[in-house]
Amino acid sequence: EAAVTQSPRSKVAVTGGKVTLSCHQTNNHDYMYWYRQDTGHGLRLIHYSYVADSTEKGDIPDGYKASRPSQENFSLILELASLSQTAVYFCASSDRGPSAETLYFGSGTRLTVL
Amino acid sequence: QQKVQQSPESLIVPEGAMTSLNCTFSDSASQYFAWYRQHSGKAPKALMSIFSNGEKEEGRFTIHLNKASLHFSLHIRDSQPSDSALYLCAVKDTGNYKYVFGAGTRLKVIA
């Protein structure tokens, strides 16, 4: 089973502060993703990456930056946290190729911005 | 931009019933269609996926895809209380690795 590890599991941040969420995968997968989950919105894509040192914007990138320093690690950065960024954040990875479509998710980070 | 919608938003069924969940999408050229299940407080986990029109059965679960109708569904035979969860459908855009999810259907199976 593919393994994706997120840290921290939960975090409380102050408005205007900087927050970094980390994700580590040991599956040798090329693709990594950051999603946020809010009640009634399912999972919405923030940023994704298909190779180290490169990231792509997803559907809701405003207010977020991403960093992929290596194949295994993918971070999500909130430079100036806002109340509206309170949510659960999931990291996921997937392999390359037409028969390797499954997304493997980490356990999530519950972020509360006060 | 791909639009993915699920129905119903929530569903309560008795144990042993057949449960049907629906998902519509907007891009007929999409390639990958999947259902993910998320138990409360847990990560989403892939349940089933399909690539071409038709049906696929795995145990009590059946996925059905009709690209012409822009619709796919998940059917759960003999629903169990352990099936109670949030079910998310996902569609992968053509030409990239961007997965778009629906808002989810919350299923409760009562004993």
The per-residue DSSP string of B37-89 comes to EE-TTS--EEEEEE-SSEEEEETTEEEEEETTTTEEEEEESS--GGG-EEEEE
Chain A residue with the nearest C-alpha to that of B90: A43
Q: Decide if A42 and B99 are in contact by the 8 Å CB cutoff.
A: no
- Contacts by residues A83-86 (CB-CB < 8 Å, ≥ 24 positions apart): A83/A15, A83/A113, A83/A114, A84/A113, A85/A19, A85/A36, A85/A111, A85/A113, A86/A111, A86/A112, A86/A113
Please state, for a pLDDT cut of 90, what percent of chain B lies above it.
80
Q: Would the CB atoms of B98 and A48 count as touching at under 8 Å?
A: yes
Give yes or no for residue B81 having a pLDDT over 80. Answer: yes
State the average pLDDT for chain B. 93
* Interface probe, candidates B31, B92, B99, chain A, greatest A C-beta count within 10 A: B99
Residues 6+ apart with CB under 8 A from A89: A6, A21, A34, A35, A36, A37, A46, A76, A108, A109, A111
Average pLDDT, chain A: 93
Q: How far apart are CA A25 and CA B57, in angstroms?
A: 30
Strand, coil or helix: what is A84? helix
Looking at per-residue confidence, does B42 or B94 come out higher?
B42
pLDDT in the model for residue A41: 73
Q: pLDDT at position B1, please?
A: 80
Instruction: Assign B94 a pLDDT band (cuts: 50, 70, 90).
Output: low
Per-residue confidence (pLDDT) for residue B95, from 0 to 100: 64
Which of chain A's residues have a Cβ under 8 Å away from the Cβ of B43? 90, 105-108
Q: Which residues of B touch A108 (CB under 8 A)?
A: 43
Interchain contact, B32 vs A58, CB within 8 Å: no
Tell me: pLDDT of A100 over 80.
no
C-alpha torsion A52→B27→A92→A89, nearest 10: 110
Q: Is the pLDDT of residue B83 over 90?
A: yes
Q: What is the pLDDT of residue B89?
A: 97
Top pLDDT among B28 and B54 is at B54
Query: Phi/psi class of residue A42: alpha, beta or left (left: φ > 0; alpha: ψ in -120 to 50)?
Result: left
pLDDT higher than 70, residue B49: yes
Residue A95 above 90 pLDDT? no
With contacts defined as CB-CB under 8 Å, which chain B residues touch A44?
101
Per-residue pLDDT averaged across B58-65, rounded? 96
> Under an 8 A CB cutoff, do A102 and B49 touch?
yes
Return the pLDDT at A39.
78
Cβ-defined contact of B44 to A102 (cutoff 8 Å)? no
Chain B residues touching residue A33 (CB < 8 angstroms): 99
Segment A22-58, tens digit of pLDDT: 999 998 999 999 999 997 678 999 999 999 999 999 9
